[in-house]
Structure 1
């Protein structure tokens, strides 16, 4: 499960490298202990700080919201043509108003969204954030929220967990509502109806801010090859011209290839507590994603917007499909282009600079790239999210950067050209106000003299 602990548990989930060198053959690399890597990939880092009754807390003592992309919650049933905005509002963890209907008296039909959770969860409370005192949207918010839960399937077996009215004049505090019953559930069916102040003459329509879900969640476990496969991601074609991605998981490392809009791209990512984080080619905007129970891939882009990637299994082979040619090394590709290569999948023990076993494939990918470029001078920068104090983050990022340098040195890369530098939380690449943004900020950037 992905929680607010983030950097305390595995902030170093991202590694970015920048460099430049000539073309080299990187198809040969050191082998890793596949058994250990696979076993470690199934383990779940304990990222819950404490528990207050029937609600999990992060290490800062705040309740963990299990209804966010960053917690691995993604939609599986909704109208993609008309409900994309409201679905993002429910799950993105941001507090801005989103328009969900042009009707000034509420949606013409109830809006129903089904969300899949990454593990069995017992919800104790649901809620919404404070209503804005100012701005365009006072009185326009959805008025009635009903939440049902199922542990059977996304389509049946639901029982009502809560139904509440959102008050229009609560400006300072969250509005929280207890669950009437607390079964273990894997799916939630959320129904939104009405408008706080119906007004046929009001041009502003109906809006929604966010929905919280607090409770306890079982550990999230994924298999060693959970993120290996091919998925169609749109474009209207299933052949060579179809938009698709192919992923290959090795320990906590996930690499891949894809096509979109007629262009080819390389994927570099990793698994942290069951959540996939990746970037595409030279783009620094990260994506968080899961594979749901129907083998669909669901993802959300962090930083620019929260557009979702919904992919069905299938699609033609890509340049990453196992065959005569080895798949591209994203780190080496970036180094040859003298740009940053973000590499996820380097995880650490809780509050420690001890590298976990499932990080070896990601580290080995870097080792192969750097060993081919022995004259490149590089500074490995550790970056955290905003949890804990500035000084704590700075110290931990420094120690973890040093651990990466030590691992590379122990595995044949000359340490003379590599310097470790902890940056802490000073340079985020995504919004630290959301779990998904925090996950994206846990990274390392390796800067060369290029």
Structure 2
């Protein structure tokens, strides 16, 4: 996961060490430009269309049906279908008949028009008791989970001959929808009367209307392994969990991304959460482990033992998800200006001798490109703070690229947590 990176600056130092003539400077500039262009070209080959049917983009499971109950299928499997991890998983904890069918309903954060779908890594486990689902149907609607759903795509799946491939199928009709129903049925290679079914990921490409900022992350929730209290002010969220953990994060659309630290052990956790009909749902990773389902019901009378959750301006030691940039760019989006303003307020009274804004990326693209992009984004944050009157003379920018992940880059959920800005002070 960690890679050795040789910064362009080192190469330029070697090129200019022999003298300071304009010829050497010109050669160095040309080399730098060529390397930047090459990195951009390498990155361009890895750019993927946005998967709007993913939890990281705000799609949230709300209901399951068909043979789901008999096969012990729950919200954990519903999330795995859209978690951005293209590896296979056991979709049915209990075996079923060879023609078993299950369905899932997802709520989208805004009207979405799908143009095509994909299922990656259709691979059979070498076991007579397991097989990959064969039939997939996708329906769309706009009248809630109980409303009418119209077919928008379907495919009969066949096993891939190697890992890393995708089966694409076009949307039958391009219509804007806010609800999606996915049905999986039958098996590719059913060898026994009772079989376990596997699946990987459903990807949905297209276009989506702008997503409004959710203001639902204010309250208390209780569930299995969940004791959570949150307070929201604009896009910023503070709170506590497990009665001993402090949490800070930001809302983008209808998704909260947050990091927390156990006050007793120092163990860190990361969260990607949404609020559905007042209840919290999402995933949590503790100490760098796998993401686990994290859901609880609203409970206004819950005693969290954390005191009163209060939103404080971000500052030294914080991890920020509220600063958003244009795609593949260092241009800060206007909806992030409130976060920049709050950060300026939080840093204004800092007595630290040095403040470093550190930019981080996920792992798509080349190391060199991500390092350059994270540096430019960190510099953009510094410039925005200085434009707002922050007087700290020792504020600086550093790009870390993809070299310091805090979550697994194997899924979009994890990658979305790795794209962040950190405030480090000395």
Which TM-score bucket, shorter chain as reference? 0.7 to 0.9
User: Match of 1:62?
Assistant: 48
* SS class of match (2:191): coil
Structure 1 residue 114: Cα displacement: 0.9
TM-score by length of 2: 0.73
Distance 1:431 1:259 in 2: 22
User: Match of 2:238?
Assistant: 256
Distance 1:137 1:256 in 2: 49
The structure with higher relative contact order (CA 8 Å, sep 6+) is 1
| 8 A contact 1:85–1:99 mirrored in 2 | no
User: Match of 2:21?
Assistant: none
* SS class of match (2:318): strand
User: Match of 1:268?
Assistant: 248
Distance 2:342 2:305 in 1: 15
Deviation digits for residues 95-144 of structure 1 (CA, Å, limit 9, x no counterpart): 22211235566578532211111111222333311333776699611122
User: Match of 2:159?
Assistant: 168
* SS class of match (2:181): strand
Q: Whose radius of gyration is greater, 1 or 2?
A: 2
TM-score by length of 1: 0.69
Distance 2:369 2:388 in 1: 29
Residues 148 and 345 (structure 1), Cα distance of their counterparts in 2 relative to 1, 3 Å cut:
same
Structure 1 residue 59: Cα displacement: 9.2
Deviation digits for residues 162-220 of structure 1 (CA, Å, limit 9, x no counterpart): 34322135436322223333332111122222222222288x83221122222332222
Deviation digits for residues 383-438 of structure 1 (CA, Å, limit 9, x no counterpart): 12234444443333223323433454566655344332112222222233433222
Note the 1:300-315 alignment, pairs <5 A: 300-301=283-284, 304-315=289-300
Residue 193 (structure 1) aligned with residue 185 (structure 2): yes
| 8 A contact 1:143–1:196 mirrored in 2 | yes
Distance 2:314 2:172 in 1: 51
Q: Which residue among 401, 405, 419 is the counterpart of 1:424? A: 401
Residue 182 (structure 1) aligned with residue 174 (structure 2): yes
Deviation digits for residues 245-271 of structure 1 (CA, Å, limit 9, x no counterpart): 323132xx32222443xx243321113
Q: Which residue among 378, 393, 402 is the counterpart of 1:401? A: 378
Residue 74 (structure 1) aligned with residue 60 (structure 2): yes
User: Match of 1:33?
Assistant: none
Note the 1:235-384 alignment, pairs <5 A: 235=224, 243-250=227-234, 253-260=235-242, 263-281=243-261, 284-292=268-276, 294-301=277-284, 304-316=289-301, 327=310, 329=312, 340-349=317-326, 352-384=329-361
Residues 363 and 218 (structure 1), Cα distance of their counterparts in 2 relative to 1, 3 Å cut:
closer
Distance 1:249 1:107 in 2: 51
Cα RMSD between the aligned structures? 3.7
For structure 2, list consecutive stretches of 5 or more residues without a partner in the other structure: 1-43
Distance 1:217 1:130 in 2: 26
* SS class of match (1:143): strand
| 8 A contact 1:97–1:137 mirrored in 2 | no
